[in-house]
């Protein structure tokens, strides 16, 4: 029995290493609406703007890049958060949202080497 358990653990560990080496490609759907309607949804959760930036996303399956503004909203009391992309035509899309937002307080991450 002990050997069976060890064999299962070994197989799971080996498949985990293989899975980590595979590039991840996600095909997702993002709910989109007019700018004001999308932000009305955020107001329901009392999320406030934390930071903005520029983002490039790639359409699937064509791989065509799209540039947009990124807006990250949080409710620091409840921990909810939302990431919205705003495109030049006024369309806003919910890229992701979630729970358990908390500021990172750990050690500084090492700098990444850009090739």
Is residue 11 a part of any domain in this protein? no
Task: Please name the residues in contact with 10: beta carbons below 8 A apart, sequence gap of 6 or more.
Answer: none
Beta-strand runs (E) in the chain: 32-34, 48-58, 65-74, 81-86, 91-98
Which domain, by its residues, includes 46? 31-102
Is residue 79 a part of any domain in this protein? yes
Is residue 42 a part of any domain in this protein? yes
* Vertex 112 angle, CA 110 and 50, to 5°: 80
CA dist 65 and 55 (Å) reads 10
Is residue 71 a part of any domain in this protein? yes
Is residue 19 a part of any domain in this protein? no
Is residue 73 a part of any domain in this protein? yes
CA dist 76 and 92 (Å) reads 23
Tokens matching residue 83: 């990431």
Specify the number of domains making up the chain.
1
Q: What is the pLDDT of residue 47?
A: 94
Is residue 98 a part of any domain in this protein? yes
Residue-wise pLDDT for 4-52, tens only, equals 454 554 555 555 555 567 777 777 788 999 988 988 888 999 999 999 9
Residue 114 has pLDDT above 80, yes or no: no
Task: Please name the residues in contact with 100: beta carbons below 8 A apart, sequence gap of 6 or more.
Answer: 79
């Amino acid at each position: 029995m002990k050997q069976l358990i060890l064999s299962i653990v070994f197989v799971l560990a080996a498949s985990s290493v293989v899975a980590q080496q595979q590039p991840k490609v996600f095909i997702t759907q993002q709910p989109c609406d007019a700018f004001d309607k999308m932000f009305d949804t955020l107001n329901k959760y009392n999320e406030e703007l934390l930071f903005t930036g520029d983002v490039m996303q790639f359409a699937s399956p064509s791989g065509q890049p799209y540039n947009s503004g990124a807006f990250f909203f949080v409710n620091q009391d409840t921990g909810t958060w939302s990431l919205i992309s705003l495109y030049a035509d006024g369309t806003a899309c919910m890229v992701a949202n979630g729970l358990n937002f908390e500021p990172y307080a750990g050690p500084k991450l090492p700098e990444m080497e850009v090739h």
